[in-house]
């Protein structure tokens, strides 16, 4: 819940925690002097993750401490005695113990009051938390409520800088390597195409094979880059500014979905195509893919009892995004996990359409995705009935949840 709040709401709760701790701690507001790491700015870093990490640090330290009072690790507090003569006198030991206790006292009051403020606002459904509470309620039973915090926690704050040629980051290249940008792309497109300064070895075709030269990555990549320099985007290396989904780590977004999203210069749902297959597609599925690549506005092509193609188009943008994401999974992922939910939705919407029936569509899915497709559809329908009720399909619930959470995250 904390990660879903906006910065203003998080700031309000943290500020209340500091104010109340300054009133309740043994040394009142003076106790904050021994807790310099407790600032609103530092605790709000990475969408509030810094506060959660501080809570975990306090909990872990308390659990593993073998002395009382225990000291919460802090770069500042760990060096508090650096300038004091050693060995410590009895007076110095007493003062250090007293200040450590005062520090822990203030930290405990801050944590308690901040959590109290968060809990109160959630229970009272304050202006800053009500949209989040409503969104979490809408996700009940779908599993998405538990998944969103994990996704948000792992989102990047800024794009990764990678070399356009060797595709390595500063961490992978090591010390002493600088990054430069293509001046023409920067001037004409305001786009940073990065190249590292590391010298890359290459062999000259004009010299003996044993003669090896060195040149940097920008020169190495020029043969490829000159065709679209100052005109088009980058190679869209995952995680870089050229990748429209740079915020999302590869562990949360499959490559075939990322490739589809990066088809155009900016994100459009119609760019989310079938993806690159991780298995050998059947001839029926390959025909489906070919037709969809020709008719990019169609979301699926069904075939009537007479063999006539029936275009299936989703109008709602969130439903379209959800359907196409599941379609890409079914058509590209080796496990074809999206077949059941996708087919379940198609059968619900198109059953009874002239020339179509449940059985006709099931036979088509078996031809396209294999003999297990029928059982996967039945299993998906059973799970939806158990978890959702009301005749709703998994894709409909997922689309509704994505719509609500998208509005919350876009605030």
Q: Which residue has the higher pLDDT, 386 or 303?
A: 303
First to last CA, the chain: 15
Mode of pairing for the β-strands spanning 179-181 and 194-196: antiparallel
Instruction: Give the pLDDT mean for 14-37.
Output: 91
Q: What is the pLDDT of residue 150?
A: 63
Which neighbouring-strand residues pair with 195? 180
DSSP three-state, residue 20: helix
Q: Which of 126-140, 184-198, 275-289, 345-359 has the lowest mean pLDDT?
A: 126-140
Other Cβ atoms closer than 10 A to 324: 24
Q: What is the pLDDT of residue 261?
A: 62
Percent of residues, the chain, with pLDDT higher than 90: 29
Q: What is the pLDDT of residue 177?
A: 79
DSSP three-state, residue 307: coil
Instruction: Give the pLDDT mean for 252-264.
Output: 65
Q: Which residue has the higher pLDDT, 209 or 353?
A: 353
Question: What mean pLDDT is reported for the chain?
Answer: 82
Percent of residues, the chain, with pLDDT higher than 70: 82
Task: Give whichever of 64-68, 121-125, 226-230, 350-354 has the largest mean pLDDT.
Answer: 350-354
CA nearest neighbour of 260 among 286, 229, 292, 226: 292
192-251 pLDDT per residue, tens: 888 887 665 444 445 444 333 335 788 888 888 888 888 776 677 888 887 877 877 777
Going by the DSSP 8-state scheme, the letter that residue 169 receives in this structure is: B
pTM (2 d.p.): 0.55
Domain boundaries, the chain: 2-138, 160-242, 255-409
Q: What is the pLDDT of residue 260?
A: 61
Instruction: Give the pLDDT mean for 22-47.
Output: 89
Q: Peptide bond preceding 69: is omega within 30 degrees of 0, i.e. cis?
A: yes
Q: State the Cα–Cα distance between residues 25 and 385, nearest whole angstrom.
A: 53
Q: State the Cα–Cα distance between residues 403 and 158, nearest whole angstrom.
A: 24
> What pLDDT band is residue 176 in, cutting at 50, 70 and 90?
confident
- Please name the helix (run of DSSP H) or strand (run of DSSP E) that holds residue 300, with its range, or none: strand 300-303
Contacts of 232 (CB under 8 A, 6+ apart): 265
Q: Peptide bond preceding 87: is omega within 30 degrees of 0, i.e. cis?
A: yes
Q: Which residue has the higher pLDDT, 202 or 9?
A: 9
267-282 pLDDT per residue, tens: 567 777 887 888 899 9
Q: What is the pLDDT of residue 203?
A: 46
DSSP three-state, residue 44: coil
């Amino acid at each position: 819940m904390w990660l879903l709040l906006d910065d203003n709401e998080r700031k309000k709760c943290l500020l209340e925690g500091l104010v109340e701790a300054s009133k309740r701690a043994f040394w009142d507001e003076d106790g904050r002097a021994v807790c310099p790491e407790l600032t609103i700015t530092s605790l709000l870093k990475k969408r509030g993750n810094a506060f959660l990490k501080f809570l975990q640090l306090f909990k872990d330290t308390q659990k593993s401490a073998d002395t009382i009072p225990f000291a919460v690790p802090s770069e500042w507090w760990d060096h508090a005695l650096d300038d004091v003569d050693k060995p410590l006198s009895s007076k110095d030991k007493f003062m250090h113990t007293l200040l450590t206790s005062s520090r822990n006292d203030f930290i405990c009051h801050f944590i308690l009051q901040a959590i109290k403020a968060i809990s109160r606002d959630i229970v009272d459904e304050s202006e800053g938390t009500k949209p989040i509470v409503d969104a979490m309620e809408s996700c009940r039973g779908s599993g998405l409520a538990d998944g969103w915090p994990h996704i948000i926690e792992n989102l990047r704050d800024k794009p990764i800088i990678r070399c356009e040629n060797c595709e390595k980051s500063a961490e992978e290249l090591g010390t002493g390597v600088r990054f430069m940008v293509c001046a023409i792309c920067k001037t004409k497109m305001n786009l940073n195409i990065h190249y590292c300064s590391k010298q890359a070895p290459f062999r000259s075709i004009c010299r003996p094979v044993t003669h090896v030269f060195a040149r940097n990555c920008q020169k190495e990549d020029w043969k490829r880059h000159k065709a679209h320099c100052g005109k088009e985007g980058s190679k869209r290396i995952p995680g870089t500014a050229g990748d429209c989904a740079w915020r999302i780590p590869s562990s949360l977004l499959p490559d075939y979905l990322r490739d589809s999203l990066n088809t155009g210069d900016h994100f459009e749902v119609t760019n989310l195509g079938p993806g690159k297959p991780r298995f050998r597609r059947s001839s029926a599925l390959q025909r489906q893919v070919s037709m969809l690549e020709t008719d990019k506005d169609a979301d699926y092509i069904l075939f009537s009892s007479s063999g006539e193609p029936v275009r299936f188009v989703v109008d709602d943008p969130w439903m379209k995004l959800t359907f196409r994401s599941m379609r890409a999974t079914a058509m590209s992922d080796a496990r074809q996990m999206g077949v059941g939910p996708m087919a379940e939705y198609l059968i619900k919407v198109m059953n009874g359409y002239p020339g179509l029936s449940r059985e006709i569509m099931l036979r088509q899915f078996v031809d396209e995705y294999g003999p297990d497709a029928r059982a996967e559809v039945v299993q998906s329908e059973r799970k939806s009935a158990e978890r959702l009720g009301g005749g709703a399909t998994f894709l409909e619930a997922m689309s509704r949840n994505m719509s609500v959470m998208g509005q919350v995250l876009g605030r």
